[in-house]
Amino acid sequence: MADRQIFDGQPVMEIEDGNARRNFLKYAAIFGVGSTLAVAGLGDRRIASSQGGGDLDILNYALTLEFLEADFYKQGVDAGILSGREAALVGPIAEHEAAHVSQLSSTITDLGGEPVKEPKFKYPAPTFKDKAAFLETASVFEELGVNAYHGQVTLIENVDILAAAASIAGVESRHAAVLADLIGGEPFPAPVEASKSMKQVLKAAMPFIKS
Amino acid sequence: MDRRTFIRGTAATIPATVALQMLGTRFAFAQSSDFADDVDVLNYALTLEFLEAEFYRQGNGKNLLSGKEAQYLETVGADEDAHVAAITDTINKIGGTPVEAPGVDFADSFDSREKFLTTSHVFENLGVSAYLGAAGFIKDKAILQAAAGIFGVEARHAAVVGNLLGLKPEGGVYMGANETPLTKDEVLAAAEPFLTGAGSMAGDAAVTK
């Protein structure tokens, strides 16, 4: 699952805003994902010392992934490549991801933090032309999202933020199962869902983040 | 296993009152009096998993399903068995005593494919909400991680069974952009019709140490 390549390994996300870019990419620096990206953060003591930077950092990390999902599904739905039950099942997913973006943004703001700005996205031409490829990519995304949320479960300090994050994670699990069913995959790959650290998620996500 | 107090009891960087105000009651966990300790939470989860596991053991034996549906529900049943085993094992490891399986009565749930899947859908969604409602009480990180992983699988079951039933996507397959937590009392009230005898959840799980 984790090794499935999406977007032909091409970068699709560009984080232009300086602060937002650094906020997100500092994880790459901290965890040493991608040599080019890592260099940007190496000389910055402040970044280095913010390792495990608390709930706001985790929320911004989640927000960045949700931005990508929301944009991806919006374009997929707008492309009109789905019909019937498939369209009916994917439509709400797009709405959920948009809702997650807005929930996470306002949560970060209300807690006195600064939400990352929405990155720019550019996908390889075939991404939204072919139904099977789109659903396959969606399936990879959802499994990654599920693993990403689980990877933060034990790091979130505030119990109410944990509750909010978990309430989102469960929905990603539903998406993952439905998409697996649609592509003839395995909706229940294991009795207990796996977790991925930020490092592992970013390693998987890096190919589609334009540096 | 790491027994350090976590989540509750640690000094959070964000004041709980601020977070609560912001998140609203929708995300609030159950009352703090609901669970005494991790064993208490685990026995609560174990009783629900016993209920589910026995439900699929009986239902899958009735030949109500075929093809992909039958295959899916076999896997769901196997997942619930795995949850029972994992939770029992965890309770033993941390020095607790696992509750015994409750007496169950699924009434007419196996009269037809529709009834089997409909009751399954109810149980799975109940499980999702029960885990979410109890998560905040878990102090051990490793246990919390495992509970989150089980919670997600229950959500997968709920969505796929809802889809097998051909339910409307929103409000049938999905339950909104966020899962909804339920308190222990709410979960017990929903599960009670299926529980019989002295081994029922209200009598056991809540008081076992």
Task: Please work out, in degrees rounded to the nearest 5, the angle formed at the alpha carbon of residue A97 by the alpha carbons of A158 and A169.
Answer: 40
> Could you give the angle at the alpha carbon of B80 between the alpha carbons of B77 and B81, nearest 5°?
90
- In the predicted model, what is the mean pLDDT of residues B95-101? 95
Asked if residue B135 lies in contact with residue B155, where contact means CB atoms within 8 angstroms, the answer is no
- What is the C-alpha to C-alpha distance for residues B92 and A23, in angstroms, rounded to an integer? 43
Res. B185: pLDDT tops 60: yes
pLDDT for position A56: 92
**Percent share of chain B, pLDDT over 90:** 76
Distance CA A194, CA A97 (A): 21
Which of A48-62, A171-185, B41-55 is predicted least confidently? A48-62
Closest CA to B179 of B208, B150, B144, B152: B152
Contact A11, A208 (CB under 8 A): yes
Please write the tens of the pLDDT for every residue from B190-207.
999 999 864 444 444 443
Strands A209-210 and A120-121, how do they pair?
Answer: unpaired
- Count CB-CB contacts under 10 A for residue A85: 12
ipTM, 2 dp: 0.83
- Classified as helix, coil or strand, A149 is helix
Mean pLDDT of A190-208: 85
| Confidence at A198, pLDDT banded by 50, 70, 90 | confident
| Residue B90 banded pLDDT, cuts 50, 70, 90 | very high
Mean pLDDT over each residue of chain B, to the nearest integer: 83
Q: What contacts A196, CB < 8 A, 6 or more positions away?
A: A2, A144, A147, A148, A150, A151, A204
Written as one string, the DSSP assignment of B34-85 is: G-SSHHHHHHHHHHHHHHHHHHHHHHHTTT---HHHHHHHHHHHHHHHHHHH
Scanning B127-186 for CB atoms below 8 A from A yields 128, 132, 135-136, 141-142, 144-146, 148-153, 155-160, 163, 168-170, 173-181
Identify the helix (H) or strand (E) that includes residue A51.
Answer: none
Compare all CA atoms of chain A with the CA of B127 and give the residue at the minimum distance: A170
Share of residues in chain A with pLDDT > 70 (%):
72
Q: Retrieve residue B7's tokens.
A: 């989540």
Residues in chain B: 209
Instruction: Kindly report which listed range (A31-40, A145-154, A195-204) carries the lowest average pLDDT score.
Output: A31-40
Q: Which sign does the torsion angle of CA A21, A26, A27, A29 carry?
A: positive
Report the residue of A69, A86, A108, A174 to disrupt the B interface, i.e. the one with the largest count of B CBs within 10 Å: A174
**pLDDT one-digit tens code per residue, B25-80:** 333 444 456 899 999 999 999 999 999 999 999 999 999 999 999 999 999 999 99
Instruction: Write down the pTM of the prediction.
Output: 0.82
Chain A's closest residue to B11, CA to CA, is A157
Contact B86 A192 (CB under 8 A): yes
State pLDDT tens for residues A93-125: 999 999 999 999 999 998 899 999 898 887 877
Closest residue, chain B, to A195 (C-alpha): B149
Beta bridge partners of B93: none
Compute φ and ψ for A120, nearest 5 degrees.
Answer: -90, 145
Specify the pLDDT at position A20. 53
Mean pLDDT along residues A122-138:
89
Give the gap in angstroms from C-alpha A35 to the nearest C-alpha of chain B: 31
Task: Say how far apart CA A28 and CA A30 lie, in whole Å.
Answer: 5
Q: Which range, of A45-59, A134-148, B114-128, averages the lowest pLDDT?
A: A45-59
CA–CA dist A177, A181 (Å, integer): 6
Measure the CA angle with vertex B144, ends A59 and B102; round to 5°. 135
